[in-house]
Amino acid sequence: MWYRPKPLIPPGTRIDFMGGRRVGFAFSSALTLMAIFFFFHQGLAYGIDFKGGILMEVRAREGVADLALMRDKLGGLGLGEHDLQGFGQPSDAAIRIAQQPGGEAAQQRAVEKVRTALGPGFDYRRVEFVGPKVGDELVRAGIIAAVMALLGIMAYIWFRFEWQFALGGAATVFHDMITTVGLFSFTQMQFDLNTLAAILTIAGYSLNDTVVVYDRIREDLRKYKKMPLVELFNLALNETLSRTVLTSLTTMLALVALVMFGGEVISGFSIAMIWGVIVGTYSTCFISVPLLLYMNMRRQVEADDVQGSPAGGKTVP
């Protein structure tokens, strides 16, 4: 006899998500305001990608590049913030070092320190200085990418659903992105291109979760034409709750493994994604759907379902 595991969310679960919408709005508003406050009060701890620094690409002459040993050697040089990661072939590694005070001469001394510490077993294929101007361009490009993603999301949901859904989805994505930035500002964890990639990934993850619920709401609006919207939204959230929880849990398992075993290089990406999964799941239930109640949302009721209605039917809230 085959074993049938019990469902994670029992059938018939009826959680009153709409009943907690005011608390959810208050909590989200406070979280967003705190994120904005910390961002303008103490800013972000920008990484080398944004602040500028030294970029070196090296290749081990024999065997693979021992990243752990190289990282230990670089850590004792006193060069401040640095980053090391493999790329391309196993023998290749990229080294990024924060900009050194003292002009070009100081940058050259830092490069010589690295060469001496790593020893003669490496070929230096590329050594260049990334100036702050490049970092400023990356900041602008990152902001433009986030804004374009938000506008694209709004346009897509508006096209597939209605304008109310577009505003709700955009508000949810904005909430998730800005609170992630606030987390990095509050903790002063390094904010680099990996973190920016995580923020854009969070936007996609949050949107995916929200669209699934919105699609179920659209189906239920056609199916239950006279059900009050509060009850209908609760029904849609509970019907998709099993999918939401399972997706979040399985994603979280992978991210926890990345935090524990992925190393320093992708720790910022992993932590940002963990926060994004948590806040994205929460915002779907307590922001994106409850917001629809305050947008004068109306639905079409067929003439046959309303006694005495004109042939063309009518809309009701």
The confidence score (pLDDT) of residue 39 equals 92
Assess whether pLDDT exceeds 50 at residue 301. Answer: no
Beta-bridge partners for 83: 96
pTM for this entry: 0.75
The confidence score (pLDDT) of residue 314 equals 38
As a whole number, mean pLDDT of residues 291-302 equals: 70
Q: Kindly report the CA angle at 277 between 279 and 296, in degrees rounded to 5? A: 50
The confidence score (pLDDT) of residue 47 equals 76
Whole-angstrom distance, CA of residue 268 vs CA of residue 277 = 14
The confidence score (pLDDT) of residue 34 equals 95
As a whole number, mean pLDDT of residues 152-176 equals: 84
Confidence label for 4 from pLDDT (cuts 50, 70 and 90): low
DSSP 76: T
Assess whether pLDDT exceeds 60 at residue 87. Answer: yes
The confidence score (pLDDT) of residue 113 equals 86
The confidence score (pLDDT) of residue 62 equals 81
Assess whether pLDDT exceeds 50 at residue 201. Answer: yes
Assess whether pLDDT exceeds 50 at residue 94. Answer: yes
Q: Name which residue leads in pLDDT, 34 or 103.
A: 34
Q: Extract the tokens encoding 142.
A: 């990152």
The confidence score (pLDDT) of residue 175 equals 92
Whole-angstrom distance, CA of residue 118 vs CA of residue 56 = 12
The confidence score (pLDDT) of residue 300 equals 53
Over the stretch 265-282, which tens digit does the pLDDT of each residue have?
Answer: 678 888 999 999 999 889
As a whole number, mean pLDDT of residues 270-296 equals: 89
Side by side, which strands form the sheet with 82-86? 82-86, 92-98, 53-60, 122-130
Q: What is the mean pLDDT of the chain?
A: 81
Among 110-119, 185-194, 307-316, the minimum mean pLDDT is found in 307-316
Asked if 195 and 272 count as a contact pair (C-beta separation under 8 A), the reply is yes
